[in-house]
Amino acid sequence: MQKISRLLGFLKNYRGYVSLHIISNIFMVLFSIISIPVLIPFLEILLDQKELVTEKPAFAWDADTLVHLFNYQLSQIIIDQGKVNAMIWLCGSIVVIYFLKNLFRYLSLYFMVPVRNGIARDIRSQLYNKILVLPLSYFSEERKGDLMSRMVADVQEIEFSVLRILETLVREPLLILGSLALMLYLSSTLTLFVIVLILFTAVVIGGIGRALKKQSRAVQTQLGLIVSMLEETLGGLRIIKGFNAEPYQSGKFREENNVYLRLLNKINWRNDLSSPMSEFLGVSVVTVLIWYGFTEVQSGDLNVASFLAFLYAFFSVIEPSKRLSAASYSVRKGLAAVERIEAILDAENPITEPEQPLELTAFSNEVAFENVSFYYRKDDGYVLKGINLKIPKGKTVALVGSSGAGKSTLADLLARFYDVKEGSILIDGVDVRQMTLHQLRSFLGIVSQEAILFNDSIYNNIVFGMEGVNQKQVEAAAKIANAHDFILATENGYQTNIGDRGMKLSGGQRQRLTIARAVLKNPPILILDEATSALDSESEKLVQAALLELLKNRTSLVIAHRLSTIQHADEIIVLHEGQILERGTHDELIEQGGEYSKLVSLQTF
């Protein structure tokens, strides 16, 4: 019930459309019910069994009086104009009633379109915004393809489920209740058979539905795995082809795809069982109804026209009952999708904003790491242990060490991609946890090891999120990053689209664009994770010149991979197994002949 409440909660922004949808459904049901008793006099005239009513009844709001009044008006038409004209009048009434019924049916669907599509948009927006604020640690535990599947396939399931729930709560129950009321009016005895059918069907279909929900969750999870494999394959095609691993990857995909096939077969078989079972139960009861109705007609308790109208009303119960059983399957699939989406929307974010943030107007002194320790998982042990480090304003500190020493983790802690487990990181004496994330990161510029670019124009990739920037400033930043010339050489200059992840550009060009982005932001503190990818000598020189220009007179924390960058650092920190092993300038550390000297000789940073 709580999950259904969450589903219905998505409707709160669309109350107007939902109200119009419900009103349209009510009118549609009303005209559906009215269409049944109108058939009785039509059949009576057709079968020549119509008894004329010559006495006009006093008006009252009850079923007997309204039926009597209708029969009186019809009798007057028969007396005055004959049966043929009465039949024309009846046929016209039936056409008008069915026109109004279908008009309101269309309107109910019309008003539901913006609700369904709007809800899908809202959920996607909520998911996307949540993904933006979740910490990096969350994504190390989740598969990207599964997250993508939730945003696409699961949202679509919810979209259809909301429609089904509204139909389940409004249209179908009203149709069933209205038809049952009419059937009770025509014959209370025959109606008992229908009630038994509905109760029995509800029990049977309910059992099927509970199993469907569990299987639906498994199907959606497996689809997430398939999308993850596809995402990994598209990102790793170069390696797959280079290692002749196509058969291996194809086999893995085929195995996961077959699991998905088996799950889908099971759920479809079970789902397909509900409709034939409902129909079989319905036909079984219809045969009993026909037999019992025949005895009622023979005894004179019910005329033929009323019995045929009763059967029509009965089928008006069967169809919405079958739709209810189908809707229960759709709703349960939607509930399974809600659970998967809730796992993202309700995920806790350990990187919290301070209740009373301290505001730092400008950076003027130093960045300090005080006895900082950190682990990703406690059972795996500390990644950093007891780090003490100060970066004075305008100085460059280079981090070196073998892979896994903790260099990137230290930089991530400064940007609060993770929070320290022990100790503190201070900017001008203010703990970064006491600053808002927006203010903290406004002080930082980040150039990552991998050139992170987006499928957009060169201009938008450089500006990326910055406001109040003009073309001259962008070009000036590109010139400092040694990117201006190659940008002008592209087809549309700064408006050239660089493709997915910037793959239309070379490695060196991509790196220079990320440097231009950092130059344009002009942050007081720079985090630079130098790229280790091999570049041709010309690109290497251009990138290195751009980096040195970027670092000039700037407070910088550099994860260094180039000896030329390290040599220009004011202090070099050598990390080993999460602890500071050595520190000093390049010359001092070379003279010591320790770990740093060994790394330099091997050129492995």
* Residue 533 predicted with pLDDT over 60: no
pTM, entire model: 0.74
Residue 82 burial by CB count (10 A; 0-12/13-18/19+): exposed, middle or buried?
A: exposed
d(CA 294, CA 323): 29
At the second CATH level, the architecture of 366-602 is 3-Layer(aba) Sandwich (3.40)
CA dihedral 391, 393, 398, 403 (to 10 degrees): 60
Which CATH code fits 2-345?
A: 1.20.1560.10
Task: Give the residue among 531, 507, 510, 506 at the shortest CA–CA distance from 462.
Answer: 510
DSSP state of 398: E
How is the chain split into domains, by residue range? 2-345, 366-602
Task: Count the alpha carbons within 13 Å of 303 in the hemisphere toward its beta carbon.
Answer: 12
Does residue 572 have a pLDDT over 60? yes
Residue 604, pLDDT > 70, answer no
Token pair, residue 346, equals 């309700």
Cβ(434)–Cβ(485) below 8 Å? no
* Mean confidence (pLDDT) of the chain: 81
Q: Are 223 and 155 in contact (CB under 8 A)?
A: no
Q: Which two tokens stand for residue 493?
A: 């200059």
pLDDT for residue 432: 93
Asked whether the CA dihedral 8, 9, 10, 12 is positive or negative, the reply is positive
Local structure of residue 580 (DSSP, 8 states) = E
Q: What are 580's strand-pairing partners?
A: 575
CA atoms within 13 A on the CB side of 301: 11
Give the model confidence (pLDDT) of 460-516 as tens digits. 999 987 888 899 999 998 988 888 989 999 989 999 999 888 888 888 888 889 888
Dihedral sign for Cα atoms in the order 54, 56, 62, 66: positive
Q: For 409-453, how does the pLDDT look when each residue is reduced to its tens digit (9 = 90+)?
A: 999 999 998 999 999 999 999 999 999 988 998 898 888 878 888
> Lowest-confidence range among 26-40, 125-139, 203-217, 437-451?
203-217
Q: Is the pLDDT of residue 143 over 90?
A: no
Q: Which residues pair with residue 384 across a beta bridge?
A: 374
**In the prediction, which pLDDT does 238 show?**
60
Query: Using one digit for the tens of pLDDT, what is the confidence trace for 545-568?
Result: 877 777 888 899 998 777 777 888
Rounded to whole angstroms, the Cα distance separating 298 from 294 reads 6
Distance CA 410, CA 400 (A): 12
Identity of the highest mean pLDDT range in 70-74, 337-341, 413-417: 413-417
